[in-house]
Amino acid sequence: MATEIYYFSGTGNSLAIARDLAEKTNGKLISLASVVDKGPIRTDADVIGIVFPTYYEPYGGVPLIVRRFVLKLENIDSKYIFAICTYGSVSVNALKLLDEILRSHGGRLAAGFTVNMPYNMGGSSLNSPEKQQKMFRVWEENMDVIYEHINARREVRFDTPNVLAGKIYSLIQFIVAPLIFLFKPVTRRCLKQYYNLNNGSYVEMLPNMDRSFYTNDNCAGCGTCARICPVKDIELVDERPEWQHKCEFCLACFHWCPQEAIQSSELENTIRYHHPDVKVSDMLNQD
Ligand SMILES: Cc1cc2nc3c(=O)[nH]c(=O)nc-3n(C[C@H](O)[C@H](O)[C@H](O)COP(=O)(O)O)c2cc1C
C-alpha cells in the first residue's frame, strides 16, 4: 500500500505533522507547492494524505494553494484520501470544504483530522511556551490513534483536544460554527483594503495581502524571505524584498526572517514563531 503525504506549511506546524505521519506510514513526503504548478498530478499511491493550515475560517478555511492542488489531482475516485488540518483557534469548516472540492473532482475525503497547534497570527496570550508544549504533547499522544485510523482505512472525523477549550471543545464547536460567519464582513473589510475592487472576491483579494508587508532598517538583504516563500512571491530588488501579489499569506517570510525585519500592518501583535522541530533548511525543501 503506497502512501503519499502532501503538505503546505508557512511556519512548520503542518510540515512537522506531515513528517511524523510520513515516517509512521512509510509514506513519501511531498511539498504540494512543488507540484501544484507543474500540470496534472498523477500518482500510483493508493493512500493520499493532505496536511495544511486553516486559513480564514469564515471563508472556508482552506488555503487557495490547497484548493488548486486538489483540482490538479487525477484519477482519485478509488483512492483513500485523508486530510489533517492544523489550526490555531478554531477550525470547523475546512475539512468540509475540502471534501466538497474533492467531490466536485471525482474523489472524496475518507478521513479528516483537525490538530490544534500554535496560532501563527497570534499574540503572546495564545502562544505561551507552556501552551505550545501542551499542544505538541497532545499531538504526540494522538498521533498513534490517527495513524491507526489511516492504516485501517477507516472513515472518520477526529479532533485532537483544543488546549484552550479542553475537552468541551466539541460542544463549543456547535456554538462557534454558526457564529463564525459573523466574522466574514470583518475579514472581508480587512482583505479589501489591499485590493481596490468593489466586488473583489476572496480569491482575488487574498493574493494582494502581501501589500501589507514592508521591511525596516534591520533588513540585511540576505534573501531568506525570497528563498523560503513556497509560492515564489518575493523578488529581491536592490537586496530588498518586493512582493509580487500572488501571495498565500502563509507568513513564512515574516516568521523566518533572521533579522525580524519584515513587518505587516496586519501582524502588529503577532509574535515571531516557527515550529521548534522545523529548521529553515526543511522549509527550503518546499519547492
Ligand atoms: C492567513 C492566516 C489565517 C489563519 N486563519 C485561521 C483561522 O481562521 N482559524 C484558526 O484556527 N487558525 C488560523 N490561522 C492559524 C493557522 O491555521 C495555524 O497557526 C497553523 O497551525 C499554521 O500552520 P503552519 O505552521 O503549517 O503554517 C491562520 C493563519 C494564517 C497565516
Cell matching residue 156: 472518520
Span 134-175, pLDDT tens digits: 999 999 999 999 999 999 999 998 777 666 554 455 556 556
* CATH number of the domain enclosing 201: 3.30.70.20
Residues 85 and 128 in one domain: yes
Q: What DSSP string describes 6-54?
A: EE--SSSHHHHHHHHHHHHHTPEEEEGGGTTTSS-B----SEEEEEEE-
Q: Tell me, yes or no, whether 63 and 117 share the same domain.
A: yes
48 and 25 within one domain? yes
Same domain, 203 and 91: no
Determine the pLDDT at residue 174. 58
C-alpha 9 to ligand 1 mean position (Å): 10
Instruction: Look at residue 273 and tell me whether its pLDDT is greater than 70.
Output: yes
- Model confidence over 202-227: pLDDT tens digits? 888 889 999 999 999 999 999 999 99
4 ligand 1 Cβ < 6 A: no
Cell numbers 493532505: residue: 50
Average of pLDDT values for 50-57? 94
The Cα 59–Cα 183 span in angstroms is 9
pLDDT score for 196: 67
Check residues 190 and 102 and name the one with the higher pLDDT.
102
Last residue of a domain, one of 165, 180, 195: 180
What is the pLDDT of the chain when averaged over all its residues?
Answer: 89
Ligand 1 site, residue 43, Cβ cutoff 6 A: no
Calculate the dihedral angle through the C-alpha atoms of 141, 145, 151, 156, rounding to the nearest 10 degrees.
-130
Atom of ligand 1 nearest to the CA of 250: 31
Distance from the first to the final alpha carbon of the chain? 26
DSSP string, 177-230: HHHGGGGHHHHHHHHHTTS--TT--HHHHGGGGGGGEEE-TT-----HHHHH-T
Q: Please tell me whether residues 56 and 25 are part of one structural domain.
A: yes
Does 142 contact ligand 1 (Cβ within 6 A)? Answer: no
17 lines ligand 1 (CB under 6 A): no
> Does one domain contain both 45 and 133?
yes
The CA-atom distances, in angstroms, between 141 and each of 58, 130, 134, 157, 280 are 29, 16, 10, 17, 26
Q: Closest Cα to atom 3, ligand 1: which residue?
A: 55
pTM: 0.93
Task: Tell whether 154 and 224 lie within a shared domain.
Answer: no
pLDDT score for 287 = 65
Task: For residue 276, give the C-alpha cell.
Answer: 521548534
Distance between Cα 87 and ligand 1 center (Å): 5
Domain shared by 121 and 161, yes or no: yes
Cell numbers for 43, please give them. 500518482
Q: Are 63 and 51 in contact (CB under 8 A)?
A: no
For the CA of 120, the closest atom of ligand 1 is 19
State which residues form the domain around 38.
3-180
Residues 126, 83: one domain?
A: yes
Report the pLDDT value the prediction gives residue 197, as an integer from 0 to 100: 58
Domain end: 129, 162, 180, which one?
180
Q: What is the pLDDT of residue 166?
A: 47
- Choose one of 124, 152, 180: the last residue of a domain: 180
pLDDT at res. 167: 46
CATH number at residue 24: 3.40.50.360
Cα 153 from chain centre: 24
- CA-91 nearest atom, ligand 1: 11
Number of structural domains found in the chain: 2
Average pLDDT over residues 182-211: 77
Statement to judge: residues 268 and 135 lie in one domain: no
Q: Which residue has the higher pLDDT, 147 or 56?
A: 147
